[in-house]
A and B are shown apart, each in its own frame.
Chain A
Amino acid sequence: MTNERSLVGKSVKKIDSLALACGRGKYTADFSVENPLHLAFFYSPLAHGNILAIDDTPARAMDGVVDIFHSGNTRSGLFTTAGQGFPEPSPYDTRLFNSRVRYHGDIVGCVLAESVIQARAAAAAVKVEYEPLPPLFDPEQSGDPASPRLHDGEEYAPLPVPYRPEENVAGEVLFSFGDVEKGFAEADFIADETYRTHYANHCAMEPHCTTAFFDEKGRLVLYSSTQVPFHARRIVSQAAGIPLHRIRVIKPRIGGGFGGKQEVLLEPYAALAAWKWKRSVKAELDRSEVFTTGRTRHPFRVHMRTGVKKDGSITAIALDDLMNTGAYGAHALTVLSNAGSKVLPLFNKIPNVSFVGRAVYTTLPVGGAYRGYGATQGYFAFNQHMDGIARTLGVDFLDFVKSRHIQEGETSEVFKAIGEGTEGVSQIIRSCKLDECIDRGAEAIGWARLRGKRITSGPWVKGVGAAVTMQGSGIPKVDMASASMKMNDDGSFNLLVGATDIGTGSDTILSQIAGEALAVPLEKIIILSSDTDLTPFDVGAYASSTTYVSGQAVLRCALEVRSRILSVAASMLDVPEEDLTVEQGGRVLHEASGREVSYSRIACHSLYTRNQFQIQGSASFCGSESPAPFMAQFAEVDVDRETGKVRVVSFVSAGDCGQPVNPTLTEGQIEGAALSGIGYALTEEYLFDSRGRMTNNGFWDYKIPGILDLPVMKTIIVPSSEPSGPYGAKSISEIGINGPAPAIANAIYDAVGVRMRELPLTPEKVLRALQSKE
């Protein structure tokens, strides 16, 4: 067998793409079920209040209304909507039906009716009487004795992690090594800055949806737009009180997730209603509900202090992060952790480091998992802060980074210190091509030509900025994936994986990995994913885990099947197994004699002829490390000095994700993440009125990038090989969203000399900064 790879590293067509392009791919809302009932929610019109009375009598009398659920008639226990490992590192602070509401948009109850229109009409007719309570909008004031406490009852953290609702603290991360005060004392200057990031929404094109029905055995089947089918099954069982073995979750095609569908939001309601009435139930959020009641990117305040000597050495760094988790603590601790654990290891040679992070409750929308997951917020501060220090030292930012970032063979204390609800895992970086990413990205953007030149045309001034980032590949010793596989008569294979393709192409790349290991073309791998009845467990699509963790499970499974194939072939040819090789196209060769048998003959032999058994295998994988992808991103911007408008002219991403399994899909991940990051940097923003109501909860007022907003976009994959990854692969899905905001902000500084420390970088803010500079 040659070393030339036949599938890994090849841009094969995404296996579901033709069906999707022809309108044959089915999403959750597309399944027709028999005679469904429909759910519509009613929400809190207050930022904070106690429910005194709910009068649903008039609503119940309306046409088509079957039932109305709320805290007055339905008991519900505490849980978290966060689909994470179990027990979850997020606090159990959420109920399906609240007797106290904690933000404008909090779910009060839901109506079950024969049609969507009837359900919505009745939901609007439910009368709820509230006792208003004081709101808490400013996270900085969350600890004030005068501020209201949002969770002061039975809420608790299921893991032994810091959780102090009596102080509005939903999560806390404290970590240090060395002595930062001593480090600061040794410094010649201390850069001391505060950065602020904002609320943002995933804006997956498909709104959240769940379709529930009963199979012929009376078991509840949920089609759901979820990134986490196995977590969804467990959480539905817990929240709706339905035995787990009575629930089957099927993930069909998903219209994008980006973390928003890592939350188990709709499934428990649809399940509860279906279980009670033994009818099919459909629940689908409309776009405004996705904005207000779905999850968001947690806003951060990052206070960063760095001690620096005149020779450029960094003596200490101290981060003080305050994260607004909103009304509930979904992913609070872990997003907060990542703002340290994915950021601080990048400059791993700083001898004195401290990280103080607090996630606090406010009466605002709920944060959650969102591509980048805390690293995005942390890197916005980190890259601008370091750009400023490099400028103070009179050193080029790229040179500054190159002499300080983590290199192959190195480690960071931070890996060991900060985990996700537990201690972290010590690891050594075994692949890092960040220097090459920086060099090739700089070349592509024209760094030498543009940096500091301030080329001016009318009111427009040009600048160029960069940002460097790292992420991870799954959560080590937490995330587990598994795969099983069986061989068919014609030498094809059914591959069953719990891994969840939400549009990323994971079905395709996992098939490529299996096909590579078995030396068969892609069409001989028949993949089925994400069905809790049929496929083995996988934590789901999050934490940049699928290529690395699920990929490794698939590889192990395929190698196990391959060894069974060799063993059958050995007995068929009556030669020792070790003399056999697997040949491309699905053959086993005995080189010495020149005799060979095809997979098809091997399969038929084992199915029908002698010592019959099914050639099959299964494997699981749980990583003991989380190799980091690295990326350097560059923005060329024009800033209008008269209006403050920022135009991204050109954007370059150069990334090291190990061996890209499918380069086209890899580029697609980077390009999509980069444009999302540009939207986050410039235009996407939650606007609230004085009562805490989001006033722009639709696509006309919440501006995501359209095709006209696309700059000249260049993507460079810098190949490396990660020894612990399947065929050398690491992750790529999240990292590309971290760099755009700081790269653009650094470019603005390069153009006009103002430091934009608060997102988003709107014309109003840039203009104000320009005016206050003059």
Chain B
Amino acid sequence: MRKGIFSVNGRREEWTYHDDDVLLDSIREAGHTEVHRGCKEGGCGCCAVLLEGVLVNSCQVFTASAEGRDITTVAGLGTIHDPHPLQQAFVETGAVQCGFCTPAMILSSYALLQKNPNPSDEEIRRGLDGNSCRCTGYVKIIEAVRLAAGRMAAHDE
């Protein structure tokens, strides 16, 4: 067992973990259950988080390698009282059905919009590839990202 300092959504936390633990298990163990376990083999993207701003599947990252680094989950983007424009857009377009893929899908969208604030539909598809959803058929997810991108751009002007 090891102890280490982790930064989750801007807060310092001390976790106890094993050498071979993966970030998905550790971050859930630490109470961040908004990070979802869909397959644990990097095949669905439900466990994605931002590690120093880079989208990673947390099931494919050793906990040890995330020590001391900034981790962002969807709870770090906004809250039900003060949602991020992406969270708001997912709600308004009906892009949330069961919601299991949603936190990672929103983080993936966020990472995309950081790099490309005005993506085409094709760029949205390429940006979100790797995050699976079985409920929506992705139609309204693409719509949500488009809506949020427009609002965020208008806000920045």
Contact = CB atoms under 8 A, between A and B. Distances in A.
Co-complex (A, B)? yes
A772 B21 CA distance: 53
A707 B127 CA distance: 10
Nearest to A26: B33
B45 to A, nearest CB: 9
B90 A17 contact: yes
Contact of A672 (B73, B87, B135): B135
A665 B78 CA distance: 24
Nearest to B126: A708
Interface string A557-583: 000000000000000000000000000
Contacts of A30: 28, 33
A503 B95 CA distance: 11
A698 B132 CA distance: 13
Interface centre among B36, B99, B101, B128, by most chain A C-beta atoms within 10 angstroms, is B99
B43 A21 contact: no
Interface centre among A23, A698, A699, by most chain B C-beta atoms within 10 angstroms, is A23
Interface stretch (A249-257, A523-531, A532-540): A249-257
B155 to A, nearest CB: 18
B37 A29 contact: yes
Interface residues of A, number: 57
A419 B28 CA distance: 46
A481 interface: no
Contact of A668 (B36, B73, B94, B132): B94
A11 interface: yes
Contact of A710 (B39, B80, B87, B137): B137
B138 interface: yes
A599 to B, nearest CB: 27
A18 to B, nearest CB: 5
Nearest to A679: B134
A20 B102 contact: yes
A347 interface: no
A23 B128 CA distance: 18
A121 B116 CA distance: 45
Nearest to A674: B137
B60 to A, nearest CB: 12
A203 B91 CA distance: 23
B100 A255 contact: yes
A287 B97 contact: no
B117 interface: no
B132 A286 contact: no
Interface in B10-54: 28, 31-34, 36-44, 46
Contacts of B100: 27, 204-206, 255-256, 503
A190 to B, nearest CB: 39
Given A700-B43, A713-B137, A502 B87 contact: no
Interface of B: 28, 31-34, 36-44, 46, 73-75, 77-80, 83, 87-88, 90-94, 96-103, 106, 125-126, 128-142
Interface of A: 11, 13-14, 16-27, 29-30, 32, 202-207, 253-256, 258, 284, 286-287, 502-505, 664-665, 667-668, 671-676, 698-700, 704-708, 710, 713, 715
